[in-house]
Amino acid sequence: MLPEVEINRVLVVTAHPDDVDFGAAGSVALFVDKGVEVTYLLVTDGDAGGNERTLDNSGMAELRRTEQRTAAKAVGVTDVRFLGHKDGLVVPSIELRRDIARVIRQVRPDLVITHHPDRNYNNVAPSHPDHRAVGGSALDAVYPDARNPYAFPELLRDEGLEAWTVREVWLTGGSTPNHWVDVTEAMDRKLAALQSHVSQVAHVEGFVDFVKTRFAAWADQAGFASGHYAEAFQVVPTA
């Protein structure tokens, strides 16, 4: 794995508002504590989500962008970017790879965190089609697109974006995690981030208990002491 001291910038690429907060906000909070710069890139605005049916789609998109910015602040992240693709309709595509490669070259992260592109047969929720499409395209953007100056030459020609090699990717939501981060001391901030998504979680009874149970189970799987919470990732070396 990449030594912690070599992680100075992290880019988190997700499909929807709230994905990063379920999968990785505790780990993000701990990175921010160490002075790491973290950027969020959201492929959609999550305009097909929510419980409130009086809003039209455009209202939901703006509301969810605002909720994600609030959630980001709860863990110390202020750089939040949106690509504006349509929620529920994301497919792996050349255009999406280029959009993600562009931000990789802008941010120049050491580590990218994104969705696992494979279907998890133990638990369907992490395998939303948008998640799989974003995870696959983000991995393709990491290798080969962002590091190959001949891929999307317009990024260099028109925007001056030099090739960049991301050295490691952490995948969320997969069935074969191999790295667990103890997020116990960041659990309050992770919960605050999750609860910032008022349109998604305010109506969910027992939400806090649900989250605590789920992340305590990861800690248990990792062999951490009882009363601890963990986030789980599959680490992919990409140097």
Q: Tell whether residue 64 is a contact of Zn ion (CB under 5 A).
A: no
φ/ψ of residue 123, rounded to 5? -165, 110
Smaller CB separation from Zn ion, 175 or 184: 175
Number of residues interacting with Zn ion: please give it, by CB under 5 A.
3
Distance in Å, CB of 161 to Zn ion, minimum: 27
Distance in Å, CB of 19 to Zn ion, minimum: 4
Which 149-208 positions form the footprint of Zn ion (CB under 5 A)?
none
Q: List the structure tokens of 216.
A: 């305590």
Smaller CB separation from Zn ion, 27 or 44: 44
Distance in Å, CB of 105 to Zn ion, minimum: 25
Q: List the structure tokens of 97.
A: 């790879």
Distance in Å, CB of 47 to Zn ion, minimum: 12
Smaller CB separation from Zn ion, 16 or 189: 16
Which 4-63 positions form the footprint of Zn ion (CB under 5 A)?
15-16, 19
Distance in Å, CB of 60 to Zn ion, minimum: 14
For 88-114, the three-class secondary structure string (H helix, E strand, C coil) is: CCCCCCHHHHHHHHHHHHHHCCCEEEE
Query: CA-CA distance, 50 to 115, in Å (whole number)?
Result: 21
Query: CA-CA distance, 43 to 98, in Å (whole number)?
Result: 12
Query: Do strands 111-115 and 37-44 pair parallel, antiparallel, or not at all (unpaired)?
Result: unpaired
Smaller CB separation from Zn ion, 97 or 132: 132
Smaller CB separation from Zn ion, 43 or 74: 43
Measured in Å, how far apart are the chain's first and last C-alpha atoms? Answer: 10
3-state class (DSSP) for residue 41: strand
Q: Which residues sit at the interface with Zn ion, rule CB under 5 A?
A: 15-16, 19
